[in-house]
């Protein structure tokens, strides 16, 4: 009976993890960003490795825990922790429930060549110091992109329809959320990936995890030497194929009574269907009853490679540390229309652009969490290496002075969590004023929207002519939050933020206490 | 028509017309203004926000002069910024809470509060303390964060601003209490009553692009005017407005101005601030457009020092 409970436990846990991570992406009220829920993202393999390399803290040892679990029981990560895995399980479950005919999985040979080529290429790309291929293949980051670019717009649409009804009834409990047009590249990539995962899972179960996913491939290598494994008891097995029929990984061969544990995603569906009770979890030292499976000549080679791959992964830490990226220098923009930003602005806590580009897996969790929606996926603002990594988009919104959520949610440490008071002084960029575009200059009427929104008064209105005032910027107290740029009513903007490739620390605005009026008994001045 | 018939029918019609006056919202149809208060403006000084408001209402014949039983009320404070009450960037929550409670005491059916904020709206609602104040008083805080709450209206008397999208609550509420906080302002010099109404429209950029001061005055010609204006000058941001940089910008002025005339209230508040109404361009424009009176010496003012 314990077999059935194991599976139930796996289903409950995986749904729980899936739900929490999905809700992190869909919550726009900011109610679930607690340490507890956010710590679940530390159990994601790739982000956790990057966080460990970057910060070296013990808290970031989620990946070590996953490796240990894999070494003990096989690919628990794939069955329980990975949201992309659970997404496929949901597709598989729904297909089985909705399909008129019975879905039966059949044993298939592994696509080892493709599978290990992909992980080799990904690791090689890491050696060049670029995360671009990891961003495309890490299952958590890809799930994140799907959640942000597909699920979130759907959520917004649904919410806004329901909220509309609410407002008609003057209830106002639900409210519409500002609709930000999705980044087309991010949307298309997420959509294609979603479609691929959907089709693969409907047709071939967890084929994605055993072919495309580099984390699956890596953990598969580890699983080859894990302590406890699922195997068929050859003294009991009559090759009926009932276990194989429910195996999403297509890794049980009833004919030779073998089970490829490197492909097993640990779903434990195969344990209970066996009428003989012959599918068991056993430690590797327990002798198999009848005969030992034929030795896989590829196996030894791959065990050797595992070490190499792990070493290579760690070696990338050194590469991350070095700034090998050259910023493309362009001509200085003449102070006139239109504006041309030399450097995109990276989020507060990212410290510098090169560092940010080499640590962000573009999981888009910060983009989903950002209350003002100023964080948006980039297109090629960072060049190809930073494809889809978030940037501060001051046309869409601006960075809320009192907010430090992006640093809190970032699972890789690409955006570090800074104390709020420190974040308020981080200079992500500097506001540049273009007088020739300004309303005050072109129309001779009052404006000052930029200065209104400035939290440090780095943009100040100074006397101009005929009682009019015009903006003036003070670089040293500007933090580059983009409030001025967002508020500026001209097109093209009269004030914009030029990004700092390396973030600086702004000075605190001087505080001069104004003269208090203390005499409340004095007559009114009118 | 016989004489008797005429009398009977006439009496019936008169009764009907009279009855219709008691139905909320109908007063507009008859071109009636809010009953004239004994004073054009009441200024109070030296007390807590709620105490000062109570005193002002006493002078004006009670809140019942403005809020009738069964009416819906909109209270429009300034909730523009994600700052704490001590920074004086938003209307004092103590005052907001008390005014809502008073409205309910006068028999208001529901009291709504909203603002089209500058900072992220839900953070501004929360950090200003106003969301909690509204909830504590039993009112309803409504969002103003998306365009679909705003309806297009015509402003025929506007010079630059001919139309605007206005929040549905402004159009639907029987009573409209405008409750700004007095602050320095980088664009308009000061923000008081008239400038606070910028927070009931959707597209503020249009105002900035098309002569801000004229647009501020233009909007005040729109038919749905505030029933009452309550200027919170308890804590006053003397510089770096409208957002402010720190508490060093704030002076404890402990004052309150109440008036049905936005221009008069703005003029008095300007003086209180230490400047002159002439230095606030939109006050002069509004006065010349006949929206209200800025000549304070010609008004009947009740000055209360506690």
User: Could you report the per-residue pLDDT of B107-153, keeping only the tens digit for each?
Assistant: 999 999 999 999 999 999 999 999 999 999 999 999 998 888 999 99
The mean pLDDT value of chain A amounts to 87
Pull the structure tokens for residue A518: 């203390």
Structure confidence at residue B4 (pLDDT): 55
Res. A336: pLDDT tops 80: no
The percent of residues in chain B predicted with pLDDT above 90, rounded, is 85
Rounded distance, CA B236 to CA B181, Å?
A: 8
- Residue A512 at interface with chain B, using a CB cutoff of 8 Å: yes
For the segment A87-96, what is each residue's pLDDT rounded down to a tens digit? Answer: 999 999 999 8
Residues of chain B found within 8 Å of residue A33, distances taken between Cβ atoms: none
Q: 3-class SS at A102? A: coil
Q: Where are the beta strands (DSSP E) in A225-304?
A: 228-232, 252-253, 258-259, 279-283
- Residue B5 at interface with chain A, using a CB cutoff of 8 Å: no
Query: A515 — phi, psi (to 5°)?
Result: -70, 125
CA distances from A476 to A268, A454, A473 (A): 60, 14, 9
Question: 18-47 in A: which are within 8 Å (CB) of B?
Answer: 29
Pull the structure tokens for residue A193: 């990936």
Point out which residues pair with A497 in neighbouring strands.
A431
Do B272 and A524 make contact, defined as CB atoms within 8 angstroms? yes
Planar angle of CA A308, A312, A317, nearest 5 degrees: 155
The residue assigned the tokens 């297909």 is A95
Residues of chain B found within 8 Å of residue A490, distances taken between Cβ atoms: 209
Q: Which helix (H) or strand (E) holds A426?
A: strand A426-433
Answer yes or no: are the C-beta atoms of A126 and A318 closer than 8 Å: no
Which letter does DSSP use for residue B107 in this model? T
The residues, ordered by sequence, that sit 6+ positions from A380 with a Cβ below 8 Å of its Cβ are A387
For the segment A480-516, what is each residue's pLDDT rounded down to a tens digit? Answer: 999 999 999 998 899 999 999 999 999 999 888 887 7
Do A526 and B205 make contact, defined as CB atoms within 8 angstroms? no
Answer yes or no: are the C-beta atoms of B217 and B286 closer than 8 Å: yes
Question: 393-432 in A: which are within 8 Å (CB) of B?
Answer: 400-403
Res. A147: pLDDT tops 90: yes
The residue assigned the tokens 């008073």 is B102
Structure confidence at residue A326 (pLDDT): 33
Domain ranges, ordered by start, for chain A: 5-300, 333-505
Answer yes or no: are the C-beta atoms of A412 and A495 closer than 8 Å: no
Structure confidence at residue B25 (pLDDT): 43
Q: Where are the beta strands (DSSP E) in chain B?
A: 41-45, 72-77, 110-113, 140-141, 150-154, 163-167, 175-179, 181-185, 189-191, 228-237, 250-259, 301-305
The percent of residues in chain A predicted with pLDDT above 70, rounded, is 89
Rounded distance, CA B139 to CA B101, Å?
A: 8
Q: 3-class SS at A236? A: coil
Answer yes or no: are the C-beta atoms of A441 and A447 closer than 8 Å: no
One-letter-per-residue 3-state SS of A204-230: HCCHHHHHCCHHHHHHHHHHCCCCEEE
Rounded distance, CA A420 to CA A406, Å?
A: 12
Q: What is the number of CB-based contacts under 8 A between chain A and chain B?
A: 143
- Answer positive or negative: Cα dihedral of B12, B13, B14, B18: positive
The percent of residues in chain B predicted with pLDDT above 70, rounded, is 88
The residues, ordered by sequence, that sit 6+ positions from B258 with a Cβ below 8 Å of its Cβ are B41, B42, B43, B44, B53, B56, B57, B60, B228, B229, B230, B231, B265
Tell me the mean pLDDT in the region B36-44. Answer: 85
Structure confidence at residue B164 (pLDDT): 95
Structure confidence at residue B88 (pLDDT): 96
Chain B CA closest to residue A167: B149
Tell me the mean pLDDT in the region A209-230. Answer: 93
Rounded distance, CA A162 to CA A157, Å?
A: 9
Rounded distance, CA B28 to CA B26, Å?
A: 5
The number of beta carbons lying within 10 Å of the beta carbon of residue A296 is: 15
Res. B36: pLDDT tops 60: no
The residue assigned the tokens 């806590």 is A349
Structure confidence at residue A99 (pLDDT): 86
Tell me the mean pLDDT in the region A102-123. Answer: 90
For the segment A259-309, what is each residue's pLDDT rounded down to a tens digit? Answer: 999 999 999 999 989 888 889 888 888 876 554 444 454 555 555 555 555
Q: 3-class SS at B136? A: helix
Do A514 and B249 make contact, defined as CB atoms within 8 angstroms? yes
Res. B31: pLDDT tops 60: no
Residues of chain B found within 8 Å of residue A180, distances taken between Cβ atoms: none
Which letter does DSSP use for residue B112 in this model? E
Q: How confident is the model at residue B9 (pLDDT cuts 50, 70, 90)?
A: low
The number of beta carbons lying within 10 Å of the beta carbon of residue A476 is: 13
- β-strands B250-259, B41-45 pairing: antiparallel
Rounded distance, CA A230 to CA A55, Å?
A: 36
For the segment A237-258, what is each residue's pLDDT rounded down to a tens digit? Answer: 888 999 999 999 999 998 888 9
Answer yes or no: are the C-beta atoms of B59 and B302 closer than 8 Å: yes
Rounded distance, CA A258 to CA B104, Å?
A: 77
Question: 157-216 in B: which are within 8 Å (CB) of A?
Answer: 168, 172, 185-188, 204-206, 208-214
B123, B168, B248: residue with CB nearest A400: B123
Chain A CA closest to residue B140: A172
**Cis peptide bond upstream of B113, omega within 30:** no
Query: B201 — phi, psi (to 5°)?
Result: -105, 160
Q: Which of A526, A461, A515 is nearest to B277 (CA)?
A: A526
Res. B12: pLDDT tops 70: no
Res. B294: pLDDT tops 50: yes
Q: 3-class SS at B228? A: strand
Q: Which of A53, A211, A209, A190 is nearest to A129 (CA)?
A: A53
Rounded distance, CA B96 to CA B115, Å?
A: 13
The mean pLDDT value of chain B amounts to 90
How would CATH label the architecture of A333-505?
Answer: 2-Layer Sandwich (3.30)
Q: Which helix (H) or strand (E) holds A121?
A: helix A112-127
B148, B246, B281: residue with CB nearest A164: B148
Structure confidence at residue A290 (pLDDT): 52
- Answer positive or negative: Cα dihedral of B99, B103, B104, B108: negative
Q: 3-class SS at B182? A: strand
Rounded distance, CA A214 to CA B19, Å?
A: 79
- Residue B74 at interface with chain A, using a CB cutoff of 8 Å: no
CA distance B252 to chain A (A): 7
The number of beta carbons lying within 10 Å of the beta carbon of residue B84 is: 15
Answer yes or no: are the C-beta atoms of A135 and A387 closer than 8 Å: yes
Pull the structure tokens for residue A373: 């929606």
- Residue A447 at interface with chain B, using a CB cutoff of 8 Å: yes
Rounded distance, CA A302 to CA A309, Å?
A: 10
Do B123 and A523 make contact, defined as CB atoms within 8 angstroms? no
The number of beta carbons lying within 10 Å of the beta carbon of residue A196 is: 13
Do A402 and B82 make contact, defined as CB atoms within 8 angstroms? yes
Structure confidence at residue B7 (pLDDT): 53
One-letter-per-residue 3-state SS of B49-63: HHHHHHHHHHHCCCH
For the segment A345-367, what is each residue's pLDDT rounded down to a tens digit? Answer: 999 999 999 999 999 999 999 99
Do B245 and A400 make contact, defined as CB atoms within 8 angstroms? no
Structure confidence at residue A276 (pLDDT): 86
Angle between helices B262-273 and B281-288 (to 10 degrees): 150
Mean pLDDT check: name the lowest of A23-32, A354-363, B264-273, B296-305: A23-32
Rounded distance, CA B264 to CA B289, Å?
A: 13
């Amino acid at each position: 009976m314990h077999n059935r409970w194991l599976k139930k436990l796996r289903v409950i846990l995986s749904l729980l993890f899936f739900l929490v991570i999905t809700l992190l992406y869909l919550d726009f009220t900011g109610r679930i960003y607690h340490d507890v829920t956010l710590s679940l993202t530390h159990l994601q393999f790739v982000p956790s490795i990057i966080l460990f390399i970057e910060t070296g803290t013990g808290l970031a040892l989620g990946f070590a825990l996953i490796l240990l679990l894999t070494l003990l029981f096989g690919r628990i990560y794939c069955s329980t922790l990975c949201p992309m895995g659970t997404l496929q399980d949901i597709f598989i479950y729904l297909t089985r429930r909705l399909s008129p005919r019975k879905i039966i999985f059949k044993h298939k040979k592994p696509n080892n060549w493709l599978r290990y080529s992909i992980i080799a290429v990904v690791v090689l790309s890491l050696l060049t110091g670029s995360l671009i291929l990891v961003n495309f293949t890490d299952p958590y980051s890809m799930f994140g992109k799907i959640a942000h670019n597909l699920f979130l717009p759907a959520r917004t649409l649904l919410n806004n329809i329901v909220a509309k009804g609410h407002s008609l009834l003057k209830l106002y409990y639900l409210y519409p959320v500002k609709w930000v047009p999705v980044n087309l590249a991010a949307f298309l990539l997420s959509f294609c990936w979603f479609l691929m995962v959907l089709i693969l899972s409907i047709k071939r179960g967890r084929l994605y995890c055993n072919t495309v996913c580099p984390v699956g491939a890596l953990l598969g290598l580890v699983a080859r030497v894990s302590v406890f494994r699922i195997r068929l008891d050859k003294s009991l097995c009559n090759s009926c194929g009932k276990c194989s029929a429910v195996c999403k990984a297509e890794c049980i061969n009833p004919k030779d009574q073998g089970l490829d544990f490197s492909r097993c995603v640990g779903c434990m569906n195969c344990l209970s269907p066996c009428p003989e009770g012959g599918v068991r979890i056993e430690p590797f030292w327990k002798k198999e009853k009848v005969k030992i499976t034929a030795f896989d000549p590829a196996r030894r080679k791959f065990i050797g490679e595992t070490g190499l791959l792990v070493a290579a992964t760690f070696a990338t830490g050194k590469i991350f540390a070095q700034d090998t990226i050259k910023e493309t220098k362009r001509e200085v923009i003449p102070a006139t229309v239109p504006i041309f930003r030399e450097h995109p602005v990276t989020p507060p806590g990212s410290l510098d652009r090169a560092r940010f580009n080499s640590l962000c897996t573009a999981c888009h969790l910060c983009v989903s969490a950002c209350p003002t929606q100023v964080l948006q996926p980039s297109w090629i603002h960072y060049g190809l290496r930073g494809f889809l990594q978030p940037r501060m988009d001051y046309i869409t919104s601006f960075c809320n002075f009192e907010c430090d959520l992006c640093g809190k949610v970032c699972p890789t440490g690409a955006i570090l969590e800074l104390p709020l008071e420190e974040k308020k002084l981080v200079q992500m960029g500097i506001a540049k004023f273009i007088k020739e575009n300004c309303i005050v200059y072109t129309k001779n009427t009052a404006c000052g929207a930029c200065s209104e929104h400035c939290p440090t008064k780095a943009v100040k209105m100074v006397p101009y002519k005929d009682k009019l005032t015009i903006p003036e910027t003070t670089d040293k107290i500007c933090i580059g939050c983009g409030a001025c740029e967002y508020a500026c009513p001209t097109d093209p903007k009269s004030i914009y933020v030029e990004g700092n490739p390396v973030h600086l620390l702004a000075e605190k605005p001087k505080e001069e206490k104004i003269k208090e009026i203390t005499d409340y008994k004095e007559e009114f001045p009118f | 028509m016989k004489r008797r018939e005429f009398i009977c029918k006439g009496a019936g019609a008169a009764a009907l017309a009279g009855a219709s006056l008691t139905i909320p919202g109908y007063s507009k149809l008859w071109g009636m203004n809010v009953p004239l208060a004994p004073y054009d403006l009441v200024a109070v000084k030296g007390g807590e926000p709620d105490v000062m408001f109570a005193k002002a209402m006493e002078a004006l014949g009670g809140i019942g002069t403005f809020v009738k039983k069964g009416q819906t009320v909109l209270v429009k404070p300034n909730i523009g910024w994600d700052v704490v009450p001590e920074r004086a960037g938003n209307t004092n929550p103590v005052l907001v809470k008390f005014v809502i409670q008073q409205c309910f005491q006068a028999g208001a059916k529901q009291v709504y509060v909203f603002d089209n904020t500058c900072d992220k709206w839900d953070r501004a609602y929360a950090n200003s303390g106003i969301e909690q104040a509204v909830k504590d008083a039993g009112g309803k805080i409504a969002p103003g964060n998306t365009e679909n709450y705003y309806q297009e209206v015509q402003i025929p008397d506007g010079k630059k601003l001919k139309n605007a999208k206005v929040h549905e609550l402004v159009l639907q509420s029987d009573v409209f209490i405008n409750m700004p906080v007095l602050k320095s302002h980088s664009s308009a010099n000061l923000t008081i009553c008239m400038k606070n109404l910028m927070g009931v429209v959707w597209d503020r950029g249009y105002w900035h692009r098309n002569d801000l001061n004229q647009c501020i005055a233009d909007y005040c010609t729109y038919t749905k005017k505030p029933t009452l204006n309550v200027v919170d000058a308890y804590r006053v941001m003397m510089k770096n407005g409208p957002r402010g940089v720190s508490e060093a910008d704030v002076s404890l002025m402990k004052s309150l101005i109440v008036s049905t005339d936005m221009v008069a209230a703005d003029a008095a508040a300007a003086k209180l601030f230490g400047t002159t109404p002439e230095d606030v361009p939109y006050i002069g424009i509004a006065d010349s457009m006949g929206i209200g009176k800025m000549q304070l010496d010609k008004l009947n003012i009740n000055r209360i020092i506690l």
